Amino acid sequence: MYRIAAIQMNSGAVVSENLQRAQKLIKESAAAGAQIIALPENFALMPRDEADRMRVAETMGGGPIQSFLAAQAKESGVWLIAGTIPLKAGQKSKFFASCLMFQPDGTLCGRYDKIHLFDVEISEVEAYTESDFFEPGSTAESNLVCVQTPMAAIGLTICYDVRFPELFRKLSAKGATLLSVPSAFTATTGLAHWETLLRARAIENLAYVVAPAQCGVHQSGRETYGHSMIIEPWGKILNQLTDEPEGFVLADIDPEKVHATRQRFPSLQHRRV
């Protein structure tokens, strides 16, 4: 058995303030026994405008946010799934939304660049175009990331990816037993689809799902859904938060449950297309 934590935040436009709160929540969840800790999408910055993101974007391998993450993983002795940070891409005006993962000695052990960008019109007054400032991650095998740990094989995804089950299927084919979905789901789409999509990805792949999320109203006026949760392979929600408070949820994970469930109910082996 091992314990996992999903951290929920209401991040703003000041990186130092966000990191201070993230540090507190990481330390508290580690003290509660979490060995794997997952931060939400945009944990270090929920920008008011494009200029905010331009100021804090980092080059892979160096920068204050990456240094912070490495230090937190090492100080708390945990596997840290670091939501997303903006990393500079080939085009100077664009970035990758990258999920970095650090092992307990502070070493980077995984990087996934978000493949599916959130370009949608939810209503006449609510629309998002992530492709204005992000580059989509590669669909090459090298960007389909499954990190091997002593406790679980962790498949990395980000937010809008949850609507594309083929990505999760590829990760389960690579051996993933825990699927990570750090998110900043809107309040509108979260109310309609968040729980349904996450439970479906767990059920389809007979895997655990950890989904840390942003919550509440942010400085840009955007409202996110919260409801960070951890789900077991049969689709049962083990623990979750509500829409408003920052904090974290914990769950004890049994690696043998994935194996046993897949043996009794071998749907992954029954695929024909």
pLDDT digits (tens, 9 = 90+) for 204-224: 999 999 999 999 999 888 999
27 in active site? no
Domain count, the chain: 1
pLDDT score of 92 more than 90: no
pLDDT at position 245:
86
Query: Which 8-state DSSP code applies to residue 191?
Result: I
pLDDT at position 50:
74
pLDDT digits (tens, 9 = 90+) for 254-269: 999 999 999 999 999 9
Q: How far apart are CA 101 and CA 247, in angstroms?
A: 20
C-beta of residue 251 within 8 angstroms of C-beta of residue 3: yes
Q: pLDDT grade, residue 38 (50/70/90)? A: very high
136-143 long-range CB contacts below 8 Å, 24 or more apart? 137/96, 137/97, 137/98, 137/112, 137/113, 138/113, 139/115, 143/112, 143/113, 143/115
Q: In angstroms, what CA-CA distances link 10 with 68, 177, 203, 207, 263?
A: 19, 29, 29, 28, 40
**Tokens at residue 192, please?**
């309609």
- Mean pLDDT of the region 183-197: 97
Q: pLDDT grade, residue 236 (50/70/90)? A: very high
170 in active site? no
C-beta of residue 125 within 8 angstroms of C-beta of residue 7: no
Other Cβ atoms within 10 Å of 88 Cβ, number: 17
Catalytic residue among 99, 109, 146, 159: 159
pLDDT at position 123:
87
- Mean pLDDT of the region 112-117: 98
Catalytic residue among 58, 99, 109, 114: 114
Q: Which residues contact 136 (CB under 8 A, 6 or more apart)?
A: 113, 114, 115, 116, 117
Q: How far apart are CA 244 and CA 20, in angstroms?
A: 19
C-beta of residue 250 within 8 angstroms of C-beta of residue 34: yes
C-beta of residue 61 within 8 angstroms of C-beta of residue 29: no
Q: Which residues contact 55 (CB under 8 A, 6 or more apart)?
A: none
Nearest Cα to Cα of residue 123 among 194, 12, 223: 223
pLDDT at position 227:
97
Q: pLDDT grade, residue 138 (50/70/90)? A: very high
| pLDDT over 70 percentage in the chain | 100
| CATH code where residue 153 lies | 3.60.110.10
pLDDT at position 243:
75
41 in active site? yes
pLDDT at position 244:
76
Structural domain including 51 reads: 2-270
